[in-house]
Chains A and B, each alone.
Chain A
Amino acid sequence: MRARGLFPYVLILPAFAVVGFISFYPTLYSFFLSLHSFRRGQQTFVGLRNFEQILNSAGFYESLRLTLVYGLFFVSLTLLFAFLLALAFNRKLGYTGVFMTTIFIPWMLSEIVTGIIFRWLFLPGYGLLQELFSPLFGNITFLGHPQGAMGVVVGATIWRTLAFAMLLILAGLQTISSEVYEAAAIDGATGWQIFWYITWPLVRPTTLVVVLLLSLQAVNSTGLFLSITNGGPGRATEVLSVMMYREALVFFNFGYGAALAVVMFFVNAILAAVYLRTMRSEIVV
């Protein structure tokens, strides 16, 4: 329909007012804050000193490394399990709807509830999974061990995200028509050949999108770290987002925290740009 004067603009006004105040304005404001220092309620302009401080601190690079390690394990393992599950669900066995609903329930739990349940499962000395798994990992106390604690957070994140990743891959698989598979079966292709020459090339774009979405989630993951390890033991799980949270909202180093936020903003923007490009070029909807 053609526009009737101001009517469409009036209709979009409330949406833009709320989003402008809560999302756009603070993002711009964080650039301003990042150029200042806040000491004893005094706001002073310090130029790029906060960024200098970030790039010169060993803590930043350690947090960056932890974020990458976390992201690598979380994204690759989630993708692997989600792919296997999606292939299984794609066989359309019937009566699998209840399984689908079941594995989605963790996605409907908040990060803090997930965190408390995992802390309970890995309670030092007594937790069910602590007892079950510790013989496999040299009898460590998971939550008291640097890599062990990271492993618990990775596990909790996979548990929560698996169904979501599976659903997206399943949607990709379902765009492949069954005729293609039937033709391949008649021509005598083996299961592995069918997967490698038909399924994989056709779901590759969806998989790429899932990898990018999971990476975005990994970079920004905060809640599960706060609830399960709170950055500990020591600073062994202090990923970038946890570092940012602590600097800005525990130590009230607003300038420094905002500068970290700006760095994170650009990391996100790059990932988001790649994601949007992938969507445009690869996915035809």
Chain B
Amino acid sequence: MAVISTQAPSSVARLTLRQRSNVVLFLTLALVSLLVIFPVIYAIFTSFKPRGFGLARDLLAGGFYLGNYELLLSTPRFVRQIFNSFVMSFGGGVITTTAAAMAGYAFGRFSFRGRTVLLSILLAVMMLPGLTNLIPLYKIASDLGLRDTYLIMILVYAAYGIPFGTWVMVGFFRSIPTDLEEAAKVDGATPFQAFWLVVLPLAAPGLTAVFITNFVYNWNDFLAALVLLSSTAMKTAMVGLFDFQNQLTGNNNELLIAACVLIMLPGVVLFVLFRNAFLRGMLEGALKG
């Protein structure tokens, strides 16, 4: 904008006008952000209220009450379902990251017969709609006795994450120079050793990004878990919330909201800590198919 201010005397007035409009714009953005985040803040306040105080128009009514959280954390079912969510999200993340690193290295580094076709097929999976796939999968998993197991959920989350993870890793491996691998091979390393010991450590930031984003998406998954898990002991926290919501008809909303706040925490915290990885991933996933 310095360009404009050096043009002519009249542009001084234009600059201040622009500055003034920038202040208005800044305040508008602040207000919009506040409106967007308000439901979350309202939920957090509600979660610290005793039963029946949630609807008071005073945000601080009922004082600072920890009973909802105490009750939740001492309910074995709730703790168990959080644990299930963790195991399935983590397992899915590990398999996604491992398989995506391997496939990303192959697609990013080597030219081999069928490379383009195979990569296109893998990326096309991102376009398969979730529920459409879950109906036949429910039948297949039932027939194989895999319904209601950690294994099937870990595989489902890995399958959801691998195509996108591979795409991110292809880009990552292409940005690492090949010199080091060549040097390793001259020193007598096998291709696998070169990959495992030399390239993979350099790709650590990419691996972290793939793992963290996949973990959060798995943690937040509702539909796949709803379809494939049926016993209380195996359900994830999200499905547990759904049951909780349906059982409770207008009774203890404050407790339900407190459960929501606890369950949203991992996703929100990981996003705030790793937001650049998430934002870059979203852009790459959507605009560079």
Interaction A to B: yes
Residues of A participating in the B interface, judged by any CB pair closer than 8 Å: 1-4, 7-9, 11-12, 14-16, 18-19, 21-27, 29-30, 33, 85, 88-89, 91, 93, 95-96, 98-99, 101-106, 108-113, 115-121, 123, 126-128, 159, 162-164, 167-168, 171, 182, 185-186, 206, 209, 213, 216, 219-220, 222-223, 226-227, 241, 244-245, 248-249, 254, 257-258, 261-262, 264-265, 268-269, 272, 275-276, 279, 283, 285
Instruction: Check B267–A285 contact: CB distance below 8 A.
Output: no
Closest residue of A by beta carbon distance from B159: A22
**The 7 residue pairs across chains A and B that have the minimum distance between CB atoms:** A22-B159, A3-B112, A11-B106, A110-B220, A15-B103, A26-B136, A8-B106
Known contacts A7-B110, A116-B241, A128-B42; A241/B122 CB under 8 A: no
Q: Which of B54, B256, B286 contacts A168 (CB 8 A)?
A: B286
How near does chain B come to A155, taking the closest CB pair, in angstroms? 10
Q: Is B191 an interface residue (CB 8 A)?
A: yes
Instruction: Check B136–A162 contact: CB distance below 8 A.
Output: no
Known contacts A120-B257, A164-B282; A12/B30 CB under 8 A: no
Instruction: Check B136–A11 contact: CB distance below 8 A.
Output: no
Instruction: Check A112–B238 contact: CB distance below 8 A.
Output: yes
Known contacts A96-B29, A223-B222; A21/B135 CB under 8 A: no
How near does chain B come to A235, taking the closest CB pair, in angstroms? 18
Contacts A11-B105, A120-B54 known; 14 new A-B pairs at CB < 8 A: A12-B103, A12-B118, A14-B98, A29-B139, A98-B33, A113-B264, A116-B245, A116-B260, A117-B257, A123-B55, A162-B36, A222-B130, A249-B227, A264-B129
Instruction: Check B238–A110 contact: CB distance below 8 A.
Output: yes
Instruction: Check B111–A1 contact: CB distance below 8 A.
Output: yes
| Residue among A29, A110, A185 with the highest chain B CB neighbour number at 10 A | A110
Q: Mark B48-65, 1 if CB is under 8 A from A, else 0.
A: 000000110100000000
Q: Write 14 A-B pairs (CB below 8 A) sorted by A numbering.
A: A11-B105, A14-B102, A15-B103, A101-B272, A104-B278, A108-B220, A112-B245, A123-B55, A123-B250, A128-B42, A216-B127, A268-B127, A268-B128, A272-B127
Q: Which of A101, A127, A167, A264 contacts B283 (CB 8 A)?
A: A167
Instruction: Check B99–A27 contact: CB distance below 8 A.
Output: no
Instruction: Check B111–A254 contact: CB distance below 8 A.
Output: no
Q: Is B20 an interface residue (CB 8 A)?
A: no
Instruction: Check A117–B37 contact: CB distance below 8 A.
Output: no
Instruction: Check B264–A109 contact: CB distance below 8 A.
Output: yes
Q: Which B residues lie within 8 Å of A115 (CB)?
A: 245
Instruction: Check A245–B36 contact: CB distance below 8 A.
Output: no
Instruction: Check B223–A23 contact: CB distance below 8 A.
Output: no
Q: Which B residues lie within 8 Å of A96 (CB)?
A: 26, 29
A22–B253 alpha-carbon span in the complex (Å): 37
Q: Is B172 an interface residue (CB 8 A)?
A: no
How near does chain B come to A154, taking the closest CB pair, in angstroms? 15
Instruction: Check A249–B22 contact: CB distance below 8 A.
Output: no
Instruction: Check B191–A222 contact: CB distance below 8 A.
Output: no
A12–B3 alpha-carbon span in the complex (Å): 53
Q: Is B198 an interface residue (CB 8 A)?
A: no
Instruction: Check B267–A15 contact: CB distance below 8 A.
Output: no
A108–B269 alpha-carbon span in the complex (Å): 9
Which residues 259-288 of B have a CB within 8 angstroms of A?
Answer: 260, 263-264, 267-268, 271-272, 275, 278-279, 282-283, 286-288
